[in-house]
Structure 1
């Protein structure tokens, strides 16, 4: 029994196709397979934590570089509110985030940068913006 869950309860909760690779690896031992499943979940959680940090570092580095490159301080308008550098689709994403934040009374540059998806930031490194 782990954290109040019995092996039968866990087996009922985890689908057969999901559990099958763990059971195979454990040579049919359900208890060992469940331990393997829990270990996999812990490793996945650790990876997500690392990915979250990489995302924050990446978006802040991109924002800082573009802010300097487009001379935000001189212009008075953040690069992410200008077209160019942003393409129409990217501007739509920024507008969506701004609208959501405005409704929450939380619209600020920091919140806009944080509110844009990882895909948005990864796209800033793609061929459209070379």
Structure 2
């Protein structure tokens, strides 16, 4: 911490309750806890950036396959024929309504795809949609994944679940300093690679997370 910042004053603003995990990790050293808190902010921003890279690659790859699947059925869009249960249907409806309210005409489809959450895409690769979506369409979004389609589905779902969880923790300013963030980074790189090797290389070389992990403050 900078010598111009009073740790006790700052801790009152942040609250001891919020600093609990940081104090625990630093043996009760308030200055060290605040340094770790500061690092956690940078790590969270890096997680958000990394997951954002993967999310766009994944959702676009899935969208391409869903469009092809819909057109084989004589439809121009998959929005109206997606065989999802209540949760997925509600997420899709919310995205459609949000875009309609903005009065979007050009690029309506792409705007809806962008409006859908990472959790929605994770939901689509769940076991319940193995025969209705995964086998006929979605597995093709990850051509470089495991050869066995069932194993590939499990791998994609596991990666998406992991990235959704850590992204949500980061987005809500929760502690992630105890988490194995290098495994999260490997998961992000692998999932992007399953879509396209260049995408995996892009995430691996451009994600800021590795450099942030190298600058984690050490206990004194």
Contact 2:70–2:76, Cα closer than 8 Å, also in 1: no
Q: TM-score scaled by structure 2?
A: 0.50
Please give the per-residue CA displacement for 1:94-114, whole angstroms capped at 9, x wherever unaligned.
Answer: 222222211111250001111
1:49 offset after TM fit, Å? 1.4
Contact 1:66–1:79, Cα closer than 8 Å, also in 2: yes
Question: 2 CA distance for matches of 1:36 and 1:5?
Answer: 15
**What value does the CA root-mean-square deviation take over the aligned residues?**
2.4
Question: 2 CA distance for matches of 1:92 and 1:27?
Answer: 46
Question: 2 CA distance for matches of 1:30 and 1:87?
Answer: 49
Residue 83 (structure 2) aligns with: 86
- 1:86 counterpart SS class: coil
- 1:28 counterpart SS class: coil
Aligned counterparts, 1:56-95, within 5 A: 56-71=56-71, 75-82=74-81, 85-89=82-86, 90-95=88-93
Question: 2 CA distance for matches of 1:47 and 1:5?
Answer: 27
Q: TM-score scaled by structure 1?
A: 0.80
Moved over 3 A (4+): none
Aligned counterparts, 1:17-28, within 5 A: 17-28=17-28
Contact 1:80–1:86, Cα closer than 8 Å, also in 2: no
Residue 117 (structure 2) aligns with: 117
- In structure 2, do the counterparts of structure 1 residues 5 and 114 end up closer, same or farther at CA, with 3 Å as the change threshold? farther
- 2:104 counterpart SS class: coil
> How many equivalent residue pairs?
126
| Structure 1, 9-18 or 36-45: larger mean CA deviation | 9-18
Q: Pick the structure with greater CA Rg.
A: 1
Question: 1 CA distance for matches of 2:125 and 2:20?
Answer: 39
Residue 38 (structure 1) aligns with: 38
**Larger RCO of the pair (alpha carbons < 8 Å, separation 6+):** 2
Unaligned 5+ residue runs, structure 1?
A: none
Contact 2:26–2:33, Cα closer than 8 Å, also in 1: yes
